[in-house]
Amino acid sequence: MVILKQPDEIEKARASNRIVAEVLSVLREKVKPGVTTLELDQIAETIVEKRGARPAFKGYRGYPYALCASVNEEVVHGMPSKRVLVEGDIIGLDFGVYHQGFYGDSAITLPVGRVSGKAARLMEITERSLQAAILHACPGNRLGDISAAVQQTVEAAGYSVVRDFVGHGIGRDMHEDPQIPNFGKKGRGIELKAGMILAIEPMVNEGSYSVNVLSDGWTVVTQDGSLSAHFEHSVAITENGPDILSRLN
Ligand code: MF3
Ligand code: CO
């Protein structure tokens, strides 16, 4: 069941997402060779506490950290550790906040120092696929319009979209209906309505879309070892079109 939000509820979700955006913008400055992913996790948690909010992922199904930090062939749900980032890595940072009854959720993938042209292109296309999808988040469109926009952008560039993990509705729960696959057909699926909040999150592999979960029970990696990138925004559908709640401004 898809839960529609009133304008005052969308404002609360915006406040949560604003904290997420602030954290990601701070982390953007901190990501460089020599930093550990655990240091990034601690920075994120400190900011959220200062804002009187709660990191949404910590404790979720037993997940032990505030941040998901996924390096290179890690797709999503990488666990912060003493791993030191090195020049040429790419790192996906996924962060969520719970505040005043509403969840916010957003992710970015960043270069560590100078990266290869192919790593840079993968990140650029993945972010572009998210932007293309967001343009379809309007009342009267179909969920499949969003999915198809991601898939077309990604596959036209020669990459693949991960099948095993999907975007989601978000609000008073972190994961609400509908599920939002990053592949699908235009014109199919439920009708989009004003008041929906969607966490749209393309996960894009350089090679095949097949993934494995490591023995830590969390870290998702590409099966072929190729690079992967992930971007996510929480987007409210309004009569005036998409409203990106997890944008900094
Ligand atoms: N950001 C993820 C999502 O969109 C949630 C991370 S799983 C967690 O579903 F365990 F880390 F919370
Ligand atoms: Co999400």
Whether residue 133 is contained in a domain is answered as: yes
- pLDDT of 249 over the 90 cut: no
**Which string of b and e fits 13-33 if b means at least 16 CB within 10 Å?**
bbbbbbbbbbbbeebeeebee
Q: What is the pLDDT of residues 15-34, one digit of tens each?
A: 999 999 999 999 999 999 99
Q: What would the mean pLDDT of 112-126 be, rounded to a whole number?
A: 98
pLDDT of residue 130: 98
Atom of ligand 1 nearest to the CA of 175: 9
pLDDT band at 76 (very low <50, low <70, confident <90, very high): very high
Residues 184 and 148: beta-carbon distance below 8 Å: yes
| Average pLDDT of the residues in 220-233 | 99
Which residues have CB under 8 Å from 14's CB, separation 6+? 236, 245
Q: Could you tell me if residue 185 is inside a domain?
A: yes
Number of domains in the chain: 1
Q: Which atom of ligand 1 is nearest to the CA of 63?
A: 10
On whether residue 94 sits in a domain, the answer given is yes
Ligand 1 atom with the smallest distance to the CA of 165 is: 9
Question: Tell me: the pLDDT tens digits for 141-153?
Answer: 999 999 999 999 9
Residue 79 dihedral angles phi and psi, to the nearest 5°: -95, 130
Give nearest CA residue, ligand 1 atom 11: 57
What tokens were used for 154?
Answer: 């990604």
Single-letter residue type at 91: I
pLDDT at 155 > cutoff 90: yes
Quote the longest CA-to-CA distance of the chain: 48
Look at residue 235 and tell me if it is in a domain: yes
- Domain presence at residue 1: no
What percent of the chain has a predicted confidence (pLDDT) above 70? Answer: 100
Measure 230 CA to ligand 1 centroid, in angstroms.
Answer: 12
- pTM, rounded to two decimals: 0.98
Query: What is the CATH number for 76?
Result: 3.90.230.10
Contact assessment for residue 186 and residue 142, using Cβ atoms and an 8 Å cutoff: yes
Please indicate, yes or no, if residue 249 is contained in any of the structural domains: no
Distance 164 CA to ligand 2 centre (A): 13
Q: Which two tokens stand for residue 45?
A: 């948690």
* CA angle, residues 78, 80, 85, in degrees to nearest 5: 95
- Is residue 147, in this structure, part of any structural domain at all? yes
| Domain residue limits at 14 | 7-244
Ion ligand 2: residues, CB within 5 A, are 105, 199
Asked whether residue 2 is assigned to any structural domain, the reply reads no
Q: What is the rounded CA–CA span in Å between residue 231 and residue 204?
A: 9
CB contact set of 156 (below 8 Å; sequence gap of 6+): none
CA distance 150 to 60: 27
